[in-house]
């Protein structure tokens, strides 16, 4: 073990003072000399604990409305001085600079201020200058100094204080320095991205401060991690750790269910819906979703936008599944669903997701706006002589929501607000359609009167001809092919309605 260093002096300048009282009292008990400024100094004085104002050390007042307080050689010299360097020792004595062994900082809440919708002046004032400088300086000199860079580290620091009675070893200081640079890099990234909203400079910067190691990645021989704070999105009530593949399916499920306001249940497998239905009653919605593909539903991800009741839970419990997501659960329903110890039960919270998406690719990353567009009835342009009925319009919009969230190439067949079948991830649209028709027939769906949705245009009339022969009566697609007229003409000849949206929804 490396030599232990005793904390003899500390500079404290924090925004969030939660749990700070315990730290101050522990440091005082250990006879640590305290330096502080502004609101933090006032906080310490109210505890009746001696504290020296930074201004008394620097012989310089806080200026520019508090913008400049700790930025002074007598402060940074005391932090950055190398305790075993004779030249540094000489200068410290010459300029009467007090050594500072510990620095505790909590930065101005820049990200929270941006998220609150504050005006630019208020946002700019929340760019911390002194705090970030203190963090970097103390972390750089980790051989001699300890940095506590965030309120998130307060409790860990309290444990360290109590365990080692104010002493730290090199590993302690280096670990806290690591956390410091994690905090500072995240902070700078947030500031850059705020400014870059106006300029759109093609620079990719992302920083996520929280993460966890997963059991494994997509396969057991691959390491996997999730970076983010899942507790902002879900409360996990039961079950094992969420896996890499679970997370991919959960993301797909959450984005899909967000398109629906009426009572809806969906079942997903490998990021695609294998069952979905909207009904007035939740149990009926579940049974309708399950009927879409009861084979693929085995081991799937379940999601609904309504509270799960006891009756629905009893039906759901007949199926083996990995994850269930709902906004809430009746107590009796929860007890039923908890019967399987590994079953993951999640409550979905209200959460605003990022407006952009990114993925690693080759030697870089792709980034794009999230596809938040969803067509409504006013976006449907009837291209055929026949107009769809009101009921068909409802089903067309329903199917279009599904097609948006299915892997391309994809075809969705729907009827009475129920997914009859889908063909997903196919290399040709014809194959996707044939797959959907085969599945619908396999599970006993009568496609007469059903509608078809496609994520992209039809380059030929072959798909509408196949759909017609299967009983499809109305079609929704983006349009945009130089041969759109071929499909439209076929529909006109065979009394099929077709609407064009003008919006493609590829998903890869």
In angstroms, rounded to a whole number, what is the distance separating the alpha carbons of residues 80 and 136?
A: 10
Q: Classify strands 381-382 and 497-500 as parallel, antiparallel or unpaired.
A: antiparallel
270 is catalytic: yes
**Closest to 142 (Cα-Cα) out of 169, 168, 177:** 177
Residue with tokens 């690693």: 360
In angstroms, rounded to a whole number, what is the distance separating the alpha carbons of residues 148 and 43?
A: 18
User: Are the CB atoms for 176 and 153 separated by under 8 Å?
Assistant: yes
User: Are the CB atoms for 321 and 301 separated by under 8 Å?
Assistant: yes
In angstroms, rounded to a whole number, what is the distance separating the alpha carbons of residues 449 and 396?
A: 12
Q: Which of 8, 17, 89, 140 is catalytic?
A: 140
**Closest to 172 (Cα-Cα) out of 187, 185, 156, 184:** 156
In angstroms, rounded to a whole number, what is the distance separating the alpha carbons of residues 254 and 246?
A: 12
What are the φ/ψ torsions at residue 34 (nearest 5 degrees)?
A: -110, 135
User: Are the CB atoms for 487 and 461 separated by under 8 Å?
Assistant: yes
Q: How many CB atoms lie within 10 A of CB 221?
A: 7
User: Are the CB atoms for 214 and 244 separated by under 8 Å?
Assistant: yes
Residue with tokens 């009292």: 25
Residue 369: partners with Cβ closer than 8 Å, 6 or more residues away: 355, 356, 357
Q: Which of 238, 270, 306, 434 is catalytic?
A: 270
CA distances from 15 to 130, 146, 150, 304 (A): 12, 19, 9, 40
140 is catalytic: yes
Q: How many residues does the chain have?
A: 508
Instruction: Compute the half-sphere exposure of residue 171: CA atoms within 13 Å on the CB side of its CA.
Output: 3
Residues annotated catalytic, as ranges? 140, 270
């Amino acid at each position: 073990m490396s030599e232990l260093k005793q904390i003899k002096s500390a500079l404290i300048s924090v925004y969030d003072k939660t749990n700070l009282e315990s730290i101050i009292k522990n440091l005082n008990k250990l006879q640590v000399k305290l330096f502080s400024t502004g609101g933090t100094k006032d906080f310490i004085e109210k505890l009746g604990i001696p504290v020296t104002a930074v201004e008394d050390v620097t012989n310089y007042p806080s200026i520019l409305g508090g913008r400049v307080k700790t930025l002074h050689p007598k402060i940074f010299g005391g932090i950055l001085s190398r305790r075993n360097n004779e030249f540094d020792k000489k200068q410290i004595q010459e300029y009467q600079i007090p050594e500072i062994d510990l620095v505790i900082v909590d930065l101005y809440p820049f990200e929270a201020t941006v998220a609150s919708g504050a005006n630019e002046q208020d946002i700019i004032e929340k760019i911390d200058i002194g705090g970030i400088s203190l963090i970097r300086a103390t972390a750089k000199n980790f051989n001699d100094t300890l940095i506590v860079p965030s309120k998130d580290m307060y409790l860990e620091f309290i444990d360290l204080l109590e365990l080692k009675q104010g002493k730290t070893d090199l590993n302690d200081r280096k670990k806290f320095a690591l956390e410091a640079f994690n905090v500072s890099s995240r902070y700078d990234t947030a500031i850059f991205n705020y400014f870059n909203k106006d300029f759109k400079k093609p620079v990719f910067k992302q920083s996520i401060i929280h993460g966890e190691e997963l059991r494994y990645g997509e396969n057991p021989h691959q390491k996997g991690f999730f970076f983010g704070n899942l507790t902002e999105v879900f409360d996990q009530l039961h079950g094992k750790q969420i896996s890499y593949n679970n997370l991919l399916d959960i993301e797909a499920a959450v984005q899909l269910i967000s398109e629906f306001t009426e009572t809806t249940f969906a079942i997903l497998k490998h990021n695609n819906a294998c069952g979905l239905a909207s009904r007035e009653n939740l149990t009926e919605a579940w049974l309708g979703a399950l009927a879409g593909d009861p084979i693929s539903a085995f081991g799937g991800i379940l999601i609904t936008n309504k509270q799960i009741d006891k009756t629905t839970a009893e039906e759901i419990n007949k199926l083996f599944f990995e994850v269930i997501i709902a906004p809430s659960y009746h107590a009796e329903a929860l007890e039923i669903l908890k019967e399987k110890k590994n079953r993951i039960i999640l409550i979905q919270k209200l959460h605003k997701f990022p407006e952009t998406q990114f993925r690693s690719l080759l030697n870089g990353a792709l980034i794009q706006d999230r596809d938040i567009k969803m067509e409504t009835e006013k976006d449907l342009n009837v291209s055929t002589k026949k107009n769809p009925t009101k009921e068909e319009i409802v089903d067309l919009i329903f199917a279009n929501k599904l097609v948006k969230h299915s892997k391309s190439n994809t075809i969705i067949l729907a009827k009475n607000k129920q997914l009859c079948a889908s063909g997903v991830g196919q290399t040709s649209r014809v194959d996707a359609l044939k797959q959907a028709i085969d599945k619908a027939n396999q599970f006993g769906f009568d496609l007469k009167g059903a509608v078809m949705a496609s994520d992209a245009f039809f380059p030929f009339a072959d798909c509408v001809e196949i759909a017609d022969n299967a009983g499809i009566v109305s079609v929704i697609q983006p349009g945009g092919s130089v041969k759109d007229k071929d499909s439209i003409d076929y529909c006109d000849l065979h009394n099929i309605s077709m609407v064009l949206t003008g919006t493609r929804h590829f998903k890869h």
